[in-house]
Amino acid sequence: MPAAHQIDIHHVAKLARLTLTEDEAARYAAQLDGILTYIDTLAQHDLGAAEPTAHAMPVYDVLRADVSRPGFTQEQALANAPKRSGDQIQIPKVIE
């Protein structure tokens, strides 16, 4: 495991379109180095027997069943329309 990773923080900041002060650059470089060191630590463990998973806990469908149910009639839907044109709601022009 390398003691320190070579991180060009100014190049990373340029790619992210960030302007960093020298204090911020030093702080972010240290944080990125810590993240990469932790990844190196994880890479040392043999995970060949571990089953890949997308979630730590099982995910169940939490949505309701898609069943049809009665809705509004056309007259009920248009009852509160401020302005109607036949069987449609008429709105003000929004594009010139």
Tens digit of pLDDT for each residue in 36-63? 999 999 889 888 888 888 788 887 777 8
pTM over 0.75: no
Comparing 2 with 49, which gets the higher pLDDT? 49
How distant, in Å, are the alpha carbons of 2, 42, 43, 46 from that of 29?
15, 20, 21, 28
* Mean pLDDT for the stretch of residues 76-94: 90
State pLDDT tens for residues 5-22.
Answer: 788 899 999 999 999 999
Structure tokens at 13: 């900041």
Give the model's pLDDT for residue 61.
75
Residue 93 has phi, psi (to 5 degrees) of -65, 130
Query: How far is residue 93's CA from residue 59's CA, in Å, rounded to a whole number?
Result: 46
pLDDT-derived band at 3 (thresholds 50, 70, 90) equals: low
